[in-house]
Amino acid sequence: MLNDMYTERDVAKRCGQCGLCGLCGRVRDLFELPGMPEKFCWECSADFATVAQLSTEIGAAARAGRSTKALESELSAMSRRILERTQSAGLSDRD
C-alpha cells in the first residue's frame, strides 16, 4: 500500500493538471470549486457541489414547510458515497 502511495505521488508530479484530490486523495485531473481553497477530482467536485445544492434545497423546503425526507435521503446517500470513496483511497487511516 505504501508503494502505491509513492507511485500515485510520482504520477502526480509528471502530470500537468493532475494531483491529489483534496477529498478522496486519489491522483486525478483536478478542478476548482468557487470559494474552495482545495482542488478536487471530477467525481468529488460533482458530489461536493451536489451536497451544497441539496443542503440549500433542504433549508428552503424546511422554511417553506415542505417535506424534506426525499432530499435528506439523497443527501445521506451522497454522503455515504463520498465516505466510501475516501475510505477506499486510504485517507481514513491518516490523522
Contacts of 39 (CB under 8 A, 6+ apart): 19, 21, 22, 30, 31, 32
- In sequence order, the β-bridge partners of residue 39 are 32
- For position 91, what pLDDT does the model report? 47
Q: How far is residue 5's CA from residue 41's CA, in Å, rounded to a whole number?
A: 17
Instruction: Convert the pLDDT of each residue in 10-69 to its tens digit.
Output: 554 556 678 999 888 888 999 988 888 899 999 999 998 999 999 999 999 999 999 999
Q: What b/e sequence results for 32-49 when a residue is b if at least 16 CB atoms lie within 10 Å of its CB, and e otherwise?
A: ebeeeeebbbebbbebbe
Instruction: Convert the pLDDT of each residue in 71-88 to its tens digit.
Output: 999 999 999 998 898 888
- For position 90, what pLDDT does the model report? 64
**Residue 26: how many other CB atoms lie within 10 Å:** 20
Helix/strand/coil for 21: coil
Query: Which structural domain range is residue 24 located in?
Result: 2-93
Domain count, the chain: 1
What's the pTM?
Answer: 0.68
Residue with cell 435528506: 72
More confident residue, 93 or 68: 68
Confidence check: pLDDT of 1 > 60:
no
